[in-house]
Amino acid sequence: MNIPLVDLSQFISGDNEQKTQFVKELGTAFEEVGFVSVKNHGISDVLINNLYNSVETFFKLPVESKSKYEIPGLAGQRGYTSFGKEHAKGSNSADLKEFFQYGQTVEQGQHSDEDYIFNVVVDEVPNFNLLFLEAYRAFELSGSFLLKAIALHLGLDESYFDNQIQLGNSILRAIHYPPILEEPLSSIRAEQHEDINLITLLVGASADGLEILSKENHWLPVKAGEGQIVVNVGDMLQRLTNNKLSSTTHRVVNPPREKWSSSRYSIPFFLHPKSNMSLACLSSCVTSTNPKVFEDYTAGQYLDERLREIGLKK
């Protein structure tokens, strides 16, 4: 499926006309589809390739080595989560994946009142954590520009999200869908779901499989073009905008039988704000024809609720 394509350089370095056009294109795509492809996003190909190589090396480690990095009590928010632990909201079937998560790092000279979970340091793979930190910062920067454009589309000040996402609770997740070794019970590797966060930035994937549910209730395959990333609206942004922007349902399906022996790797960046950000519907998005449909939550309260719903938190 050719989801809308936008050029982020038009917003970052274009003239006023190009910037206005970008805001219009991105806003329309997020209202009508909820997904968009982005080119000139600022995340280097070298970094992406190095990160994928490092991730593949990690997941090929013996189970006993990976298990050292599965830390009880972290609810999967840092470190390794073994195969079959997470399921989609409303589903009793575990997704066919294992993953590693890396979160916010407060560096020397920075200050935050947020109570962050520590990141888990992997010893067996050279530069593993350094690559995750570099990628994390690149995703943060790219995502911040996209949120500036979203703010303008919503009639807000361009800097509306800046303080909320600075040192926010974003997550960089590396996912491994192992080879299929026997007839699966389901054709789905990751059941249909919506993302929890504000926006998700997905750079590449080693194989096809991502599908989105159209407004006509049809499943449509999605894959970014060369050098592009896929960006989608998450539930937090949908709540904030009272359904003006769409958090589109998506899933990952099994490959054709002839490709069952291949692994699939995917690295999404879930852009979260600070825990204390209010997700109360924007007054400009509440009208007589679109009355308020969501309770007032903070981002932290909503994240906690969703982690329990998907089985990562008890």
- In-domain check, residue 240: yes
pTM of the model: 0.93
Q: Which band of pLDDT confidence, cut at 50, 70 and 90, is reported for residue 301?
A: very high
DSSP helix/strand/coil, 219: strand
Domain hosting 237: range is 5-309
Question: Per the structure block, which two tokens stand in for 314?
Answer: 């008890």
What pLDDT shows up at residue 207? 58
The alpha carbon of 9 is separated from its chain's Cα centroid by a whole number of angstroms, namely 21
What pLDDT shows up at residue 180? 84
DSSP helix/strand/coil, 48: helix
Q: What percent of the chain has pLDDT over 70?
A: 95
Whether the predicted pLDDT of 80 surpasses 70: yes
Spatial distance between the Cα atoms of 312 and 240, rounded to a whole number of angstroms: 24
Whether the predicted pLDDT of 184 surpasses 80: no
What pLDDT shows up at residue 66? 97
Whether the predicted pLDDT of 312 surpasses 90: no
Residue 306 C-beta-side C-alpha neighbours within 13 Å: 17
Nearest to 113 by CA among 169, 75, 170: 169
What pLDDT shows up at residue 114? 79
**pLDDT (tens digit per residue) in 90-113:** 776 777 899 999 999 987 777 777
**pLDDT (tens digit per residue) in 109-143:** 777 777 788 999 999 999 999 999 999 999 999 99
What pLDDT shows up at residue 9? 98
- For position 199, which CATH number holds? 2.60.120.330
What pLDDT shows up at residue 189? 74
Whether the predicted pLDDT of 296 surpasses 90: yes
Cross-strand pairs, 250: 193, 212
Range of 65-69, 190-194, 202-206 with top mean pLDDT = 65-69
What mean pLDDT, rounded, does the chain reach? 91
Q: What percent of the chain has pLDDT over 90?
A: 70
Whether the predicted pLDDT of 206 surpasses 60: no
Spatial distance between the Cα atoms of 248 and 246, rounded to a whole number of angstroms: 6
Whether the predicted pLDDT of 1 surpasses 60: no
- In-domain check, residue 314: no
- In-domain check, residue 130: yes
Spatial distance between the Cα atoms of 211 and 14, rounded to a whole number of angstroms: 32
- In-domain check, residue 239: yes
Residues 6+ apart with CB under 8 A from 73: none
Report CA torsion sign: 238, 242, 246, 249: positive
- In-domain check, residue 85: yes
Q: Which band of pLDDT confidence, cut at 50, 70 and 90, is reported for residue 50?
A: very high
| Mean of pLDDT values over 32-38 | 94
Whether the predicted pLDDT of 30 surpasses 90: yes
Spatial distance between the Cα atoms of 230 and 215, rounded to a whole number of angstroms: 19
Q: How many domains does the chain have?
A: 1
- In-domain check, residue 36: yes
- Burial label for 189, CB within 10 Å (0-12, 13-18, 19+), is buried
Spatial distance between the Cα atoms of 42 and 122, rounded to a whole number of angstroms: 27
Q: Which band of pLDDT confidence, cut at 50, 70 and 90, is reported for residue 162?
A: very high
- In-domain check, residue 128: yes
What pLDDT shows up at residue 313? 72
What pLDDT shows up at residue 95? 79
- For the chain, the residue count is 314
